[in-house]
Structure 1
């Protein structure tokens, strides 16, 4: 019998925090599923002049101007390639709607508190202030990201300005 959803409940636990798992290069990251509005294929965006390289531009999503941030560029990944697996995760962060470009989305995992370990004092890819911890799922290790902190207030102001220039 086919499974009807992609939520993996581990160790028979009935509750846990759910994370959308996405990939950037060889690493897997998790963000709070409650922040996710939708997942869509990557389309061309309207580029905005004088914005940092990680702000790809904006797109019109059903009448809402949504700034698009490429996390691969923000995390200084080399060889950023757009292909059929590249997706945009549309997030609702408070009153803002923001899209993040990632290499792909794999699944949704429910992690219990004992599967979430504190963030290490060092992180190679990004500053530990953006991490909520590490999720241990069998042999997999997820880097759990506080997406609101990652897209910090300075960058949110840039995003707002970029969106306002288009609107």
Structure 2
């Protein structure tokens, strides 16, 4: 059965997340910093009365110093009953992948913990790193969902 993924870029890599987790895409605006938050949590935004933590995915994946430009966006996600924002370099498109287009994640010495990767989506010469955004955002090292729930 085909699945739809929102494709986005971080540096030179292209990633994909389940489109059903995305509620909106917003232009980047500097969030309000929270004291003692992990470096990858840029702060919070007030989104129509909801305080939303903002995670910078370049920092989270150790992809160098983020630069915020005209294509930088915040993807607003619904993870369980929580709302979380993630900063990415740019959004590409929505891509439909058939099961045969999704390859198993190779064993690689990546900076991204592969337990958060669903697989690699292939479309002709293009490759998307498919991220299990639920698992990533609720992982122990992120501590984000628990912190929101508290």
- TM-score normalised by L of structure 1: 0.84
Query: Which structure 1 residue ranges, 4+ long, deviate > 6 Å from structure 2?
Result: none
Q: Spell out, residue by residue over 1:8-57, the C-alpha distance to the aligned partner (whole angstroms, 9 max, x if none).
A: xxxxxxx5100000000000000000000000001111100001100000
The answer for unaligned runs of 5 or more in structure 2 is none
Corresponding residue pairs, total: 148
- Alignment-derived partner of residue 128 in structure 2: 142
Q: How far apart in 1 are the matches of 2:52 and 2:117?
A: 24
Which residue of 13, 16, 20 corresponds with 1:30?
16
> What's the RMSD between the two structures over aligned residues?
1.5
Q: How far apart in 2 are the matches of 1:90 and 1:56?
A: 14
Q: Does 1:94 align with 2:80?
A: yes
The answer for unaligned runs of 5 or more in structure 1 is 1-14
Q: How far apart in 1 are the matches of 2:63 and 2:45?
A: 23
- Alignment-derived partner of residue 74 in structure 1: 60
Which residue of 51, 57, 82 corresponds with 2:43?
57
Please tell me whether the aligned partners of residues 58 and 65 of structure 2 are also in contact (alpha carbons under 8 angstroms). no
**Please, which moves more after superposition, 93-102 or 72-81?**
72-81
Shift of residue 122, structure 1, vs aligned partner: 1.8
- Alignment-derived partner of residue 114 in structure 2: 128
Please tell me whether the aligned partners of residues 55 and 159 of structure 1 are also in contact (alpha carbons under 8 angstroms). no
Q: How far apart in 1 are the matches of 2:12 and 2:114?
A: 19
SS at match of 2:59: helix
Shift of residue 159, structure 1, vs aligned partner: 4.3
- TM-score normalised by L of structure 2: 0.93
